Amino acid sequence: MTTRVVVGGAVCDRGRLLAARRSAPPDLAGRWELPGGKVEDGETPEQALVRELREELGVETAVRERIEGEWPLRPGLVLQVWTARLVSGEPRPLQDHDALRWLLPGEEQQVDWLDQDRPAVAEAMRRLAAEAGTGVRGGGPP
C-alpha cells in the first residue's frame, strides 16, 4: 500500500501559533488541529502546504522547516508538519473549519487538539518559546 502524506502547518505570527477547529467529518468536528491537507500528485509537501493554507484560510505563507517525525492518521495516510510564517492575509475559516485561535506558548492546552497533532504542537510551541527567549519578537510577555 502506498502511503500518502497529509501536511500540517504550524503557522506562526508574532510569537503565536494558529489553531483551527474542525467542522467535518463528524468524528473530528469540534476538535482542533494544525491546518493543512493532502499532498497532490506532482506537488512537494511544501507546495501542498502553501496551497492548502491558501484554500482553507485565505492566507499566503512561507514554509520554514519540517518538525521531525510523522504521525499515522489511518492506514495509508501519515501526517507531516512544517512550521510556516504568515506572509499576508488574515486567516479565516473558509474550508473544513468553523473557528480559529491564536495561542501563545503555554496556552496550547486551552483547546482539544487531535491526538496526532499533539507532538508537533508541543514542538512548535517549544520553538516559539525559544525564539521569544532569544529576543526574536515573541508577541507577548514571557
Instruction: Return the half-sphere exposure (C-beta side, CA atoms, 13 A cut-off) of residue 91.
Output: 29
- Spatial separation of the C-alpha atoms in residues 5 and 77, rounded to whole Å: 6
pLDDT > 90: percent of the chain:
86
Q: At the fourth CATH level, which superfamily is domain 4-133?
A: Nucleoside Triphosphate Pyrophosphohydrolase (3.90.79.10)
User: Strands 60-74 and 77-88: what pairing?
Assistant: antiparallel
pLDDT digits 0-9 by tens, 105-131: 999 999 999 999 999 999 999 999 998
- Spatial separation of the C-alpha atoms in residues 113 and 70, rounded to whole Å: 16
Q: Is the pTM of this model over 0.95?
A: no
Mean model confidence pLDDT for the chain: 92
Give residue 133's pLDDT band: very low, low, confident or very high (50, 70, 90): confident
Residues 6+ apart with CB under 8 A from 41: none
Residue whose entry in the numeric block shows the C-alpha cell 489553531: 19
Q: Residue ranges of the domains in the chain? A: 4-133
